[in-house]
Chains A and B, each alone.
Chain A
Amino acid sequence: MSWWTEWPTGPIRTAVALLVAAVGIAVVVTYPGLVREARDEADANSEQAYVDREVAGGNGLVANQQALYAARALIPADATYHVAIAGDYEGGDELTQDHVASYFRYALIPRRPEERAAWVVCYGCDLAEYGPRAEVLWRGDEDISIVHVPS
């Protein structure tokens, strides 16, 4: 016992042992929770629909998953495109207005974003502004369209 109390080294030994014991207790207390959490998350991930897992961070943000898949199918891999979103567009979630173009940029690579591209993903935009030659190739819920404007 005196080994733990003799001055000056005993209290230091005790302090070291107590700190390691505190960490040991924290480990024992939190360990099962992490194993459980990991299992639950794995189950949730496994049960997800393919499309929900693939769109992941874009769910909600893109308002309609179909828009993303339609854009991939319709816009050629070597083409450029533009995501236009009306200032008063109310679909999607709180990130849609500012970040939907960013998500499309991620999802549509190798297609390149370009301001005046012939392919336009329209979120609530006025299709008339693309002129009479603009062709709506896909139109989905939530007022989203994919438009091709021949040059």
Chain B
Amino acid sequence: MTAHSLAGLAGLNALYLAAGAAFLWLVRGAANWIDAVRFLGLAYVVGVVVTGSLWTLLLIVGVSFSLGLVIGLPIALAAGFAIVARLRGRSVPRGGRLEGGWPLVVTAVGIAASGLLLEALFRPARLSGLYEFDGWSFWVPKGKAIYEFGGLDDGFFTSLPGAAYPPLVPTLDAAAFHAMGSVDVVTLHAQYWVFGVGLVWALAGLLAERVPAWILWPFVVLLLLAPRLGRRLQIVEADLFLDMLFVLAAVLLIYWLLDRQRWRLVVAAALLCGMVLTKREGLLLFAVLLAASLVASAREWRIAWPALGVVTAVVAATAIPWRVWYVTHDVPGEGPSDGFVQGDRLDVLGPAIRRVFDVLWDPGYWNIVVPVAVLALVVAFVARVGRIAVFFGVLLSLVLLGGIWATWVFSLTGEGYVVGGNFVIRFLGSAVLLCIAASPLLLGATWTKVASAPTRDTRPRRIGLAAAIVVVPLLAYPVVAVAGGAPRFPTRDECSRPATADAPDLEVVYGRFDDPREADELLMRLTVTGFIGAETEFDACGRWKVSYDAIDSLGQGEALAAEVRKAGFEAQVEHGG
């Protein structure tokens, strides 16, 4: 909850960014600074995934997770990638020229609109308590266990719910605790908000390659406005993180199928490795993504399929160590306990299908994302845009089938249970985020096909206007927010509010204690000494307070406090409550 925690997180995320930027520079290079900035979001996400995956694998083989490893690994990765990039002849990005005109202005409006929303979403994230059931039930306990014990403690990792879930996200939580200097689960929400910023930036940066600004940015802003996406960016669970990796990998894979730039496959492979270390659904999503890629590249299978085979081998090599760990620790597996096909539960299949579609079409969860994506797919097929439509059509269908299957086989049934429960809503987040990425790509490809060739925009470049559109609201919002009251950084000492004037709530406080026995002991000593009437009370900061509250004025309180201090105790007049 403190500025210190926030500063620690900022440092950690800078390290992720450095590692990812160096990795991206190595595998892709950077033509100029505009290009580098556009890919900064992807660099950040890749940095998180590469660093986090390596931490996870090191933990699995028994390396102790210390502050040194938290700081040292991303620095080593950044330095290593940068050195190899230089050795391979990558040049430092130079200059860069913005394409001006109205597309730039539209981009500026989009950046301002999404940036302002992200700023707004940061405010509740910073001081949010840990309310999510799965968060306190197992995600954060795993992170705390890694932080406290320096590894995958057998006692916790074999007995917590979701024991078979891979530990990438808890490892990232533990890294955040190290960076913050404590198990600050409140500020941890800000880390997840940063993941969200990375997602938005990465997705917008990637899509901007192929989608005109006027089509792209409404969808980017819509991502944040879909209630189950934007409002849950800060949620300390792995679902949205997994969806983020899945969607970015999907976009990179379709791009690779379209232009065969190898770096896209390398980065997609890194993201896919992160996916299978995040949740068991990661395996399912990897499988459907692979299947869609195979289908979409069927005509060039001789070239594409071996490359996809290599990616699969890398992903499998990353996934296997964790599976070995949990098998050797007698943890039940990730599959459904009653088998992958459950003939005796066919009666649940129909309700599972209905539930998936009910959730998918619910605007209360996803705004209008899904109907728009379906229509975009139809329009793209009508316009015969080809591979993009096939890829996303197959991928969305497979994700839905996967959702139906998982809802069917994992559903608890009986009185009080809703088929699929919360699981289906969380799982379908991947389909919906995919819809958000697919829609502008489909519509952009369609537009490119049916619109006339773009004419060179010879009108003014409007760079000043664009800069003002971005900078003014993004600076104004925090200024307005701060004008309404400076940000609070609550501490356990905030309950101690020394009095400086008369007030109706005055009391003399003799001490505050973490241990209730110490409070009782002080109360007894005060009573024996003759200071009658004091009592112990649990305060709003989680401490036991010993105080006397029958105080009418500051003067009376100060006189009593002086007398108590003379007897060898501590005392201070404070505002009660």
Contacts and interface: CB of A to CB of B under 8 A. Distances in A.
Interface of A: 9, 12-13, 15-16, 19-20, 22-24, 26-27, 30-31, 34-35, 37-39, 41-42, 45-46, 48-58, 65-66, 69-70, 72-74, 99, 102-103, 105-107, 109-110, 112-113, 137-138
Contact of A137 (B121, B137, B494, B517): B517
A35 B516 contact: no
A26 B120 contact: no
A31 B121 CA distance: 12
8 contacts: A12-B382, A13-B451, A16-B443, A27-B222, A46-B485, A52-B540, A54-B542, A105-B160
Given A35-B116, A50-B491, A106-B144, 15 more contacts: A12-B379, A12-B382, A13-B451, A19-B443, A34-B224, A42-B124, A46-B127, A48-B127, A49-B541, A50-B494, A51-B539, A56-B131, A57-B136, A109-B148, A110-B148
Contacts of B124: 38, 41-42, 45
A23 B219 contact: yes
Contacts of B262: none
Interface of B: 1, 113, 116-117, 120-121, 123-124, 126-133, 135-137, 140-141, 144-145, 148-149, 155-156, 159-161, 183, 186, 214-215, 218-219, 221-222, 224-225, 230-231, 367-368, 372, 375-376, 379, 382-383, 439, 443, 446-447, 450-451, 481, 485, 488, 490-492, 494-495, 513-517, 538-543
B383 A48 contact: no
B131 A26 contact: no
A30 B120 CA distance: 14
A26 B225 contact: yes
A66 B539 CA distance: 9
A65 B538 contact: yes
B501 to A, nearest CB: 23
B375 A15 contact: yes
B128 A45 contact: yes
B218 A20 contact: yes
Given A49-B540, A57-B135, A42 B127 contact: yes
Contacts of A55: 129
A99 B135 CA distance: 13
Contact of B137 (A22, A45, A102): A102
